[in-house]
Amino acid sequence: MSEAVNIHIGRRKLFKHYHHVVQRLVTQYTEPGGQVLDIGCGMGHLLSLIRDADRGYELTGADAFQVCLDGTAELVPEASRLLVHEEGLDMETLRKGAPYDAVTMIHTLEHTLSPAETVRSALELVRPGGHLFLAVPNPVRPKNVLNALRRHHYVNRGHVCAWDRSHWMNFLDTILGLDVVEYSQDEVRLFPSRIASFAPLKAIEIGVSNVVPWWSFTNIAVIRR
């Protein structure tokens, strides 16, 4: 997939709420001083939040696009960076720093041709007792449902597959048989993006996600090895 098709690159200029949720989970489940690998690190937003937690983590970002690694270098200069081949998970490159205490894949898995194989491979990079943190977009969030009713094409051109919350849980629990210690989510997007950042509105979107997580923008899972 070329950078022109991977339109997430342009969109990752801003911090998203799922970055904050995953950062909280990483710091909750990973001891200070641990090694953290972010696969599909984008412009380095998640790594910068993990760094700002000030727990002494050794950070590594991996991405298939040099422009993303350049952005990560600007935002998180202390992080190591790995340029990986886009086909598969490029285990040969990623194993150089393994095992890791935490591996994250945030809005990345949906771009892979073999997601089950990718999850298993990513888990191999995790130290026994460590955790894999996965986050994928939810295809049945309200905006997508409305777009479908209006017959608007809403899928990112680089997305290969998608999971609503129920299929996400079935994929990880039943199909792959993984040790999922927590499922989480970010927010239900209800307001236009230009005003949704206001604290009271954002609090409403987060609160709604706790009541109806099936409508959240992102499905998140914490998997123990």
Q: Who's near 114: CB < 8 A, 6+ residues apart? A: 88
pLDDT tens, residue by residue, 134-159: 999 999 887 777 776 776 666 777 88
For residue 27, the model assigns a pLDDT of 98
pLDDT tens, residue by residue, 156-203: 778 889 999 999 999 999 999 999 999 999 999 988 888 888 899 989
At residue 3, does pLDDT exceed 60? no
Distance CA 112, CA 158 (A): 9
pLDDT tens, residue by residue, 86-126: 766 788 888 888 899 999 999 999 999 999 999 999 999 99
CA of residue 34 relative to chain centroid, distance: 19
CA of residue 43 relative to chain centroid, distance: 13
Q: Who's near 99: CB < 8 A, 6+ residues apart? A: 35, 125, 126, 127, 128, 130
For each of the domains in the chain, give its residue range(s) and CATH number, in order of start: 8-224 (3.40.50.150)
pTM equals 0.90
- As a whole number, the mean pLDDT across the chain is 90
Distance CA 76, CA 81 (A): 10
